[in-house]
A = this chain, B = another copy of it.
Amino acid sequence: MSLLIVGSVAFDAIETPFGKTDKIIGGAASYIALAASNFTKRAKLVAVVGEDFPQTFINHLQSCSVNTEGLQIKKGEKSFFWSGKYHTDMNTRDTLITELNVLENFDPIIPESYQDCEYLMLGNLAPKVQQTVIERLTKRPKLIVMDTMNFWMEIAMDDLRKTISMVDVLTINDEEARQLSGEYSLVKAAAKIQAMGPKYLIIKKGENGALLFHGKEVFFAPALPLEEVFDPTGAGDTFAGGFIGYLAKTDDVSFDNMKNAIIYGSAMASFCVEKFGTERLVDLKEEELNARINSFRNLVRFNLASV
């Protein structure tokens, strides 16, 4: 099934305890598209970049069968740029620079050829922009997945609540779930957030895995214990891209298949953090992915008989 991906395509400059980069490719939609392209050849991108954005990366997306007809290139303008520095624990970071540039007035135009999309992935963006995308689709997709972050809870809570009410799956991290719900217990937070609209909630816990909630059902996927987390930038987006890519490929939105999609998302994220930026994702082999899925299976499998 075809998959519409909306989000930022941008530049990042990253510093971790292992080193630092100059401007490299970043942005939620870049990670989502690269991850999803491992599962579907029918991904379609809506995003905006400036004249400074390298054609080589756009060519690479196309070579991965990502349709870039909806990628606007703004003449005379600059791409979104974020720079950040991670602390030793890699779970916290300081933002050093944020230059909105083309994102400031992003008007997400949906090409006519995208209107057949059955799956929609709304990467982290202003909630108002995410909402506009939903409204501009002539037919509601079968599944809408939305990512967001604490920033929007602080400056645009009303817009955020409105957009959240329109989606099927919300993905946020544990701190954001607590902030959005006002509940410390993630079980209570999940119930409150589902009452806001999304029938499914994914709570991402970084190196501590991810939880999928749906009514009274809950599924937990661990993160793979890694020797080294080199750069966590984009791990959540890569997770989301693997998740929705797998769902679009299998075209099955049951709770059981979402579990599988979360395992694939977690596997993709485990690759993402092994190198700076998108580096590890651009040359990922199918055999590597399959081997990692087996690692996840072995990590949690136990053989206690049912009692």
Residues of chain A touching chain B, judged by Cβ–Cβ distance below 8 Å, are: 88-89, 184-188, 205, 208-209, 211, 218-222, 225-229, 256, 259-260, 262-263, 290, 293-294, 297, 299-304, 306-307
Contact = CB atoms under 8 A, between A and B. Distances in A.
Contacts of A221: 300, 302
9 contacts: A185-B227, A187-B227, A209-B209, A209-B222, A218-B225, A219-B299, A220-B300, A222-B222, A256-B303
Contacts of A293: 304, 307
Contacts of A185: 226-229
Contacts of A260: 302-304
Given A205-B208, A256-B302, A297-B306, 6 more contacts: A187-B226, A220-B299, A260-B302, A263-B302, A293-B307, A300-B300
A225 B186 contact: yes
Nearest to A289: B307
B225 A302 contact: no
A307 B188 CA distance: 37
Copies in the complex: 2
Contacts of A226: 185, 187
Contacts of A186: 225
A172 to B, nearest CB: 15
Nearest to A304: B260
A219 to B, nearest CB: 7
Nearest to A219: B299
Contacts of A303: 256, 259-260
A304 B211 contact: no
B225 A211 contact: yes
A230 to B, nearest CB: 11
A304 B258 CA distance: 11
A299 B218 contact: yes
Nearest to A246: B304
A219 B296 CA distance: 10
Contacts of A222: 209, 220, 222, 300
A307 B264 CA distance: 13
Nearest to A300: B300
Given A218-B225, A225-B220, A303-B260, A184 B297 contact: no
A219 B290 contact: no
A227 B186 CA distance: 7
Contacts of A306: 294, 297
Contacts of A205: 208
B184 A302 contact: no
Contacts of A227: 185, 187-188
